Amino acid sequence: MKSNGALLVNEDYDDGFAAYDQKNYSEYFYSGLSFPKQSAVFNVAPLPEDAIPTREGKAIIPANFGILWVLLGYLNSSLVRYFVNETTGLHKQSGSIGMIPVPPLESINWYEVGEIARKISLSKFKEITFDESSRVFSLPFHIKQGLKEIYNPYISVKEGYQKIDSLVALELELSNSTQEIINSNSPVCNSLFNPTISDLLSYSIGAIFGRWDIRLATGQREIPELPDPFAPLPDCSPGMLTGEDGLPLLVPPPGYPIQVDQDGLLVDDPDHSDDIVRRVRDVLEVIWSGKAEAIEREACDILGVKELRDYFRQSGKGGFWQDHISRYSKSRRKAPIYWLLQSSKRSFGLWLYYHRLDKDLLYKALVNYVEPKLRLEEGRLEGLVAQKEASPGKAIERQIEKQEGLLSELRDFEEKLRRAANLNLEPDLNDGVVLNIAPLWEVVPWPEAKKYWEELKQGKYEWSSIGKQLRERKIVR
């Protein structure tokens, strides 16, 4: 490491840090720091142990792991951001980041920089425990509020970065004019934390499917401690329903507060015991007891719907399906885990849990939900016809016409779902959501499903299990 005035230039990894990408296999699985390859603003975050970089996410591994927090604070300072913005473009390559000047990080001021960086990271980490798509999720914010655990950050993120900038300027003896220039590159302090009422409803669906452990919400289990940002990520998030081995449970333990839907299917049908609205109300009642009805009314008011069924039935903007797709979409990766299978006029639908997907699930949906619904509605039509014969009139004729329309819609749905089931495909979760959902394109109100189905038929994704199966069945063009 060579001296360069007040700073030291990073030329020797033994004394500083290495910035690298996925090609540096020898540096895999170390805790360190990470930064995105492509971003308008340079941001550095903790890299947990046992992780590896990707093509788009680079890593920083220090020679001295004792300075991780200090290094994190320094690299997120306005000074470093200014340096990076002046020396690199949109793409932050490991080589250019490895040339960032680094001072000796040993004074009391640098120790304080590390402490502030630690508090900022823990505050951000605490926020993502409310995000069910994160690996550290425990409970939605609204439920934690109900448990009297009010969210308090360890430090104001904006205030923390301002303190870091002041300490860096003090330690490096930067002039006021220099500080004014670099402060134009102050870190972005937007909060990741934006709780919505849909978080609560999404959690309810997950609890019904056995994804989340509702005992955390009822207080029967303590909320786990916040993990260290540099510690290995858990196999399952703390909020999941897991066994003693830390892996997901298929069958809940004795005395569990709610009935878990183990077949991975719910139905949009008020006549059915597995009706999605009915089951969500069960969850709200377990968590809030006598207040459940008021919670439901408030949720409907916030969502702008008359009743919860409208929210779950709406497949476009403002409905649960689109909210769910957004929740489980990161960058270009779209991976919804609760799938909506819906009839053409939205009078009937099924919700399928991706992690219960197997080769028989579509047949179970037909036998246990669709066919009984058809028989029920056919019986109602017969009753209306008999009623017309006994007492004819325009009112009963309109009811018969409406019932015939419903039956036509249900038969169309049954035909399309059976077409997908008869492909007899063996799901492989390693293929990813978009390829597994593609065969259901006729009943899934999501353009991505049809897009990927067409691409599969054209012979794309030949590496995938589903692609190979379609080739064997001579479905690939």
| Cross-sheet strand order for the sheet of 17-20 | 17-20, 57-62, 32-36, 45-47
162 & 72 share domain: yes
Range of the domain at 112: 1-132+141-192
147 & 48 share domain: yes
Q: Which amino acid is at 121?
A: S
Whether the Cβ atoms of residue 223 and residue 263 lie closer than 8 Å to each other: no
Q: Is 150 helix (H, G, I), strand (E, B) or coil?
A: coil
447 & 460 share domain: yes
Q: What is the dihedral of CA 377, 378, 383, 388, to 10 degrees?
A: 110
Please identify, among 387, 410, 427, the residue that sits at the C-terminal boundary of a domain.
427
Q: Take residue 275 and report the two structure tokens written for it.
A: 């009706």
Residues 6+ apart with CB under 8 A from 263: 356, 361, 364, 368
Residues 6+ apart with CB under 8 A from 85: 42, 185
37 & 80 share domain: yes
Query: How far apart (Å, rounded) are the C-alpha atoms in residues 281 and 287?
Result: 10
Higher pLDDT, 288 or 210: 210
Least confident of 86-95, 127-136, 247-256, 286-295: 86-95
State residue 195's pLDDT score: 74
The sign one gets for the Cα dihedral 170, 172, 177, 183 is negative
**Residues above pLDDT 70, as percent of the chain:** 90
Please identify, among 192, 208, 225, the residue that sits at the C-terminal boundary of a domain.
192
Q: Take residue 260 and report the two structure tokens written for it.
A: 């878990």
332 & 472 share domain: no
28 & 107 share domain: yes
The total of structural domains in the chain comes to 3
Q: Take residue 97 and report the two structure tokens written for it.
A: 């980041």
304 & 174 share domain: no
220 & 368 share domain: yes
Q: Residue 340's beta-bridge partner residues?
A: 351
Whether the Cβ atoms of residue 470 and residue 476 lie closer than 8 Å to each other: yes
Residues 6+ apart with CB under 8 A from 229: 46, 48, 121, 122, 125
452 & 331 share domain: no
Distances (CA, A) of 363 to 154, 204, 406, 414: 51, 26, 22, 11
169 & 222 share domain: no
42 & 162 share domain: yes
Q: What is the pLDDT of residues 178-236, one digit of tens each?
A: 888 787 666 555 555 567 889 999 999 999 999 999 999 999 998 888 888 999 988 89
**pTM for this one?**
0.86
1 & 95 share domain: yes
Query: How far apart (Å, rounded) are the C-alpha atoms in residues 239 and 226?
Result: 12
